[in-house]
Amino acid sequence: MLKLAIIGTGNISHQFIEACQLSKAYQLTAVYSRKLETARAFAKTYEPLEVFDNLEQFWKADFDVVYIASPNAIHFEQAKQAITAQKHVIVEKPAFSNPRELRTIIDLAVENHVFFFEAARNYHEKAFKTIEAFLADQTILGADFSYAKYSSKMKDLLGGKNPNVFSAKFSGGSLSDLGIYPVYAAIRLFGQPKDANYTATQLKNTVDLNGNGNLIYPDFHVSIRTGKNYDVLDHAEIYTSQGTLHLNHIQGISSAVFQKHDGSKEKLTINAPQHLMLDEVLAFASAIENKDLTAYHTYLNAALAVNQVLYQMRQSAGIIFEADQK
Ligand SMILES: NC(=O)c1ccc[n+]([C@@H]2O[C@H](COP(=O)([O-])OP(=O)(O)OC[C@H]3O[C@@H](n4cnc5c(N)ncnc54)[C@H](OP(=O)(O)O)[C@@H]3O)[C@@H](O)[C@H]2O)c1
């Protein structure tokens, strides 16, 4: 079992722990918060647990792997410290703000003989294997992938506040927060595009509220729609020479139906994940425990491709993060 520690006491950390518990591959041992009372409140559900409000002390604690779920722009510094302390790191998506940060972390992880993973949960969903096998002998003509969800932080934004998820200081915005899922799905199924662009509705700080992008492959295009100020109801279609594959979502996929040109339908057998984060936590544990460098490099290459594409898309829309200027 891997000894696990947590940074970030938001709701997603509870969900991650739930998945770890289901996996039976991790034993939760420590939590860090900026405030001891927050760490104690978080720990109550999981006692006994060591609690910290001092990062220097936290890195000396007895654990193998840390899950980092702080605001996006904080990930880089915390991951650097973790790796230097010889801990494996699982960093919530988007792991880092730009290719420079990601490359630094990958190199540092190699130097320190630890693993770094980006927690992009849909990339690890088993549904993609089924979809990939189904599409293997078909010619892809294009795809339309969307993830837009009205954010609970819209109220604050409309009230004149600047929540982390809409902040340039914290590397926020719709593309980084939700658009990353359709981009991961495209790269999982079709590989790295040769080019990418994005047009967005932007706040004064340049961060995007919503937008449309295009991933350009040699023989087809994948359109990407993302938004945090509206809901998309129809999430994913893949167009082939023989028909259209409709997915109920681009993450947490539980249904895939292929409609041929003659209108007849074929339902693929998809086993929806028991928990949205279970497949990824199992994948990370297996790579660490088995020192599975083949799987590890596949995940890293996907993370590099996604990070590069998101950066390119951001650049084309003129979305500038404070992290880009460091
Ligand atoms: N995979 C998924 O489904 C999923 C879902 C939601 C979010 N996420 C990702 O998870 C990460 C956290 O998202 P979130 O919405 O939970 O973010 P958040 O609420 O802004 O912050 C998460 C935690 O980070 C700490 N924190 C907040 N502001 C900080 C600051 N200025 N400096 C240092 N620490 C700070 C807080 O913990 P303490 O007060 O205890 O220090 C807070 O509970 C993001 O990368 C996001 O993209 C992933």
What's the pLDDT tens digit per position in 75-129? 999 999 999 999 999 999 999 999 999 999 999 999 999 999 999 999 999 999 9
What confidence tier does 220 reach under pLDDT thresholds 50, 70, 90?
A: very high
User: What is the rounded average pLDDT of the residues 298-326?
Assistant: 97
Q: Whose CA is nearest to atom 19 of ligand 1?
A: 10
Residues 9 and 139 in one domain: no
Q: Whose CA is nearest to atom 34 of ligand 1?
A: 70
User: What is the rounded average pLDDT of the residues 261-282?
Assistant: 96
pLDDT of residue 195: 98
Q: From 7, 20, 70, 77, give the residue whose CB has the most ligand 1 atoms within 8 Å, as the site to mutate.
A: 70
- Percent of the chain at pLDDT > 90 equals 98
User: What is the rounded average pLDDT of the residues 260-272?
Assistant: 96
Residues 154 and 232 in one domain: yes
pLDDT of residue 237: 98
Residues 275 and 133 in one domain: yes
CATH number (domain holding residue 66): 3.40.50.720
Residues 155 and 31 in one domain: no
pLDDT of residue 47: 83
Residue 189: count other Cβ atoms within 10 Å of its Cβ: 16
- How far apart are the CA of 165 and the centre of ligand 1, in A? 9
* Residue ranges in the chain assigned as alpha helix (H): 11-23, 36-43, 55-59, 75-84, 99-111, 127-135, 154-158, 174, 180-190, 278-289, 293-317
Residue 232, pLDDT > 90, answer yes
- How far apart are the CA of 22 and the centre of ligand 1, in A? 22
Residues 198 and 71 in one domain: no
- 116-128 tens-digit pLDDT: 999 999 999 999 9
The identity of residue 7, as a single letter, is I
User: What is the rounded average pLDDT of the residues 50-70?
Assistant: 98
- Of 75, 104, 120, which residue constitutes the final position of a domain? 120
- 142-191 tens-digit pLDDT: 999 999 999 999 999 999 999 999 999 999 999 999 999 999 999 999 99
Residues 207 and 175 in one domain: yes
Residues 24 and 144 in one domain: no
- Using CB distances shorter than 6 Å, the residues near ligand 1 are 8-10, 12, 33-34, 38, 69-72, 74, 92-93, 119, 121, 164, 177
pLDDT averaged over every residue in the chain: 97
Residues with Cβ within 8 Å of 290's Cβ and at least 6 positions away in sequence, in order, are none
The answer to whether residue 287 sits within a structural domain is: no
Residue 159: count other Cβ atoms within 10 Å of its Cβ: 8
Rounded-to-integer distance, Cα 301 and Cα 148, Å:
26
CATH number (domain holding residue 217): 3.30.360.10
Domain limits at 21?
A: 2-120
Instruction: Find out whether the peptide bond into 48 is cis, omega within 30 degrees of 0.
Output: yes
What confidence tier does 273 reach under pLDDT thresholds 50, 70, 90?
A: confident
- 14-48 tens-digit pLDDT: 999 999 999 999 999 999 999 999 999 999 999 89
Residues 136 and 231 in one domain: yes
Q: Whose CA is nearest to atom 40 of ligand 1?
A: 33
Atom of ligand 1 nearest to the CA of 38: 40
The identity of residue 154, as a single letter, is M
Residues 163 and 310 in one domain: yes
The answer to whether residue 292 sits within a structural domain is: no
Q: Return the structure tokens found at 271.
A: 């086993």
Q: Are 148 and 230 in contact (CB under 8 A)?
A: yes
- Of 96, 120, 144, which residue constitutes the final position of a domain? 120
- Of 102, 120, 138, which residue constitutes the final position of a domain? 120
Residues 96 and 138 in one domain: no
Domains: count for the chain = 2
CA diameter of the chain: 65
User: What is the rounded average pLDDT of the residues 234-261?
Assistant: 97
Residue 271, pLDDT > 90, answer no
Residues 10 and 115 in one domain: yes
pLDDT of residue 5: 98
Residues 70 and 190 in one domain: no
- How far apart are the CA of 138 and the centre of ligand 1, in A? 41
The identity of residue 109, as a single letter, is A
User: What is the rounded average pLDDT of the residues 44-53?
Assistant: 94
The answer to whether residue 154 sits within a structural domain is: yes
Residue 272, pLDDT > 90, answer no
